[in-house]
Chain A
Amino acid sequence: MKYLRLIVKNAGRNKRRSVLTILSISAAIFLLAFMQAIMNSFSSASELTGAELRLIVRRNSLADAMPESYREKIAQVPGVVAICPANWFGGTYKEDKPQYYFAQFYVDAKTLFDVQSEYQISPAEKQAFQQERTAAIAGRKLAAKYGWKIGDVIELKGTFHPVNPQLTLRGTYTTAADAPEGGLFFHREYVEEALGRPGEVGTFRIKLDSPASAPGVMDAVDAMFKSSAAPTKTETEASFQASFVSMLGNVKGLITSVGLVVVFTISLIAANAMAMTARERFTEVAVMKALGFRPGLVLGLILSESVFIALIGGVLGTLGARLGASALPSALRDMIFLQNLRVSPTVIALSLGASILIGLCSGGIPAWSAARVRIVDGLRRVA
């Protein structure tokens, strides 16, 4: 600790350079933390309550549909306790702007709550939703976001489907406290009828009697329709969510590559700054060594200085990522599967660790060179 003042004062010696180095490191760490948070959000997108008891049946391509007749056959498979057809609507609410994007599904209102048993809704609202063909329910956070009240009419404009549903909000549901804002659910009969093609199902949501039944049910369902015109792909809800992410391409690989390239580049910039700092102090290092500072101590002091600067950048970058993650508009989160986007303690630890690593790497060679300075050479530079 007695060297702390020396380290801090030396770190602030060339303020402009230190500030620029800190800013460049903070930018790299911001990117690293934010990207890591995005990847974590992708991974945890399907960690919803009850997900272990749910399977999703779909076609290989998410754009293709299955016949309604599959429903009864799937319901007969041992282990299946409930099944709910659900289609993604993807319409526009008010304007085609990110702040108005949210998840919209037309579903079988009677069986929705059997499958999504974690949805908490009052019996009266549930009944009102199930009884009225144009009724809809929304996640409570979603309703609050748009100021929807029970009885409000919500107009959607079809983009993938040529139909503009006019829905009446009859209830709101909640899930876990930290769950995303939820979506808007309405009757599939209403949309199917308007489309004039009843009987096409995008996905079947299945509830199992136990998580152990999942492998057997998946095999049985897919085997059942293997030779049909519409073979199925049955998967866990987690896997289904992941398939959406995979639609974005190798996002994780891209994020990791970009992150590493940025961190490497910033390390070089920081190393250059540290090398300049060390070079300028050639004589000072020689004086300190003449006074009795051993090479190992000189190395430690310059490395500590480099780590100190990098750590300030790391803290700023991590704070920035944390603020950025919390400030991201919720509509954007839903659109790109970032419902759970947050800079977790693990990401914070990782980011600070990365900044320490940047400090060690960038300060390593300058510190090593300084430690090896011959006193007479350093003193001669002045004389």
Chain B
Amino acid sequence: MAETLISLSKVTKHYRRDAIDIPVLDNIDLDVGTGEFLALMGPSGSGKTTLLNLIAGIDKPNSGRIEIDGKNITGLNEKEIAKWRARHVGFIFQLYNLIPVLTAFENVELPLLLTSLSKKKRRDHVMTALSVVGLSDRDGHYPRQLSGGQEQRVAIARAIVTDPTLLVADEPTGDLDAKSAEEILDLLKRLNVEFRKTIIMVTHDPRAAGHAHSVIHLDKGLLSRTGGVYEVPAAHS
């Protein structure tokens, strides 16, 4: 395996709903190498999105240690972790989550507003990101003027515009038709191969998981890993 980028050690997460303690992750250990494309699978409520959130630094474990590129992110305060996320993590959501009143260009530019880049540099970065996802001619379009697949590509451009180390994708093809889903998965694969982005993708879809280098199964808070290229089960082929 390549150099370790993500390292989880004895990570536990549980939620409290009213007075009830609900365990989600139980003493999880996980290493993900730099440049790896990892799929997280499991039934609903298995904790895969929670695990993704912990790795992305938008949630905190109850116990355990999470290191990303050698940095213990569990010890960072809210301000520090926000800064770290802006620099190191790109987010891709199932429902794209673009700002509807902003154009594609402005949506992609959003993370760059947090940097000290000049307007011109921001424009250059945005146009580069849009060209990577094949939408440089749609920069002035609003989300409502784009198809679902195009919206997701804009969201991917927003995720890569700051050139982050890690891309986290939560069901990125969950709201797309098969053709668009395939295009998005190809794009993610390209980002992984050509741009060496480490990608962690939560998915229910074995076909989507098939694009990953390896698949992690989560069930009842426990984790098992399937190395290599995931093979689509016969029932789905």
Q: Which residues of A contact B (CB under 8 A)?
A: 2-3, 5-6, 9-10, 12-13, 283-284, 287-295, 297, 375-376, 379, 382-383
Contact = CB atoms under 8 A, between A and B. Distances in A.
Given A3-B113, A6-B113, A383-B49, A291 B91 contact: yes
Given A6-B102, A291-B110, A376 B59 contact: yes
B114 interface: yes
B91 A293 contact: no
B89 to A, nearest CB: 8
Nearest to A284: B99
Interface string B146-166: 000000000000100000000
A322 B141 CA distance: 41
26 contacts: A2-B113, A2-B119, A3-B113, A5-B106, A6-B106, A6-B113, A9-B102, A283-B97, A287-B93, A289-B58, A289-B82, A290-B58, A290-B91, A291-B114, A291-B158, A292-B111, A292-B114, A293-B82, A294-B83, A295-B82, A375-B53, A375-B59, A379-B58, A379-B97, A382-B93, A383-B171
Contact of A291 (B53, B59, B106, B111): B111
Interface of B: 49, 53, 56, 58-59, 78-79, 82-83, 85-87, 91, 93-95, 97, 99-102, 106, 110-111, 113-114, 119, 158, 170-171
A306 B106 CA distance: 21
A379 B58 CA distance: 10
Contacts of B53: 375-376, 379
Contacts of B99: 284, 287
Nearest to B111: A291
Contacts of B170: 379, 383
A306 to B, nearest CB: 16
B210 to A, nearest CB: 23
B11 to A, nearest CB: 15
B97 A287 contact: yes
Contacts of B114: 291-293, 297
Contacts of B119: 2
B93 A292 contact: no
B43 to A, nearest CB: 15
Given A293-B114, A379-B170, 19 more contacts: A2-B113, A2-B119, A6-B102, A6-B110, A9-B101, A9-B106, A10-B101, A13-B100, A288-B110, A289-B58, A289-B82, A290-B56, A292-B87, A295-B82, A379-B58, A382-B94, A382-B95, A383-B170, A383-B171
A292 B97 contact: no
A9 B79 CA distance: 26
Given A3-B113, A379-B93, A292 B101 contact: no
A9 B119 CA distance: 18
Chain B residues touching A, majority SS: helix
Nearest to B102: A9
Given A2-B113, A6-B113, A294 B97 contact: no
A5 B93 CA distance: 24
A291 B94 contact: no
A293 B106 CA distance: 15
Contacts of A375: 53, 58-59
A12 B113 contact: no
Contacts of B79: 294
A320 to B, nearest CB: 28
Contacts of B91: 287, 290-291
B101 A12 contact: yes
Nearest to A294: B82
Contacts of A284: 97, 99
Contacts of A383: 49, 94-95, 170-171
A283 B83 CA distance: 20
A290 B101 CA distance: 19
Contacts of B102: 6, 9
B49 A290 contact: no
B82 A376 contact: no
Nearest to B117: A2
Contacts of A292: 82-83, 85-87, 111, 114
Nearest to B113: A2
A291 B86 CA distance: 5
A226 to B, nearest CB: 76
Nearest to B114: A292
B62 to A, nearest CB: 14
Nearest to A298: B82
A10 B110 CA distance: 13
Contact of A382 (B87, B97, B100): B97
Contacts of B87: 292
B118 to A, nearest CB: 10
Nearest to B119: A2
A284 B155 CA distance: 13
A379 B50 CA distance: 11
B77 to A, nearest CB: 11
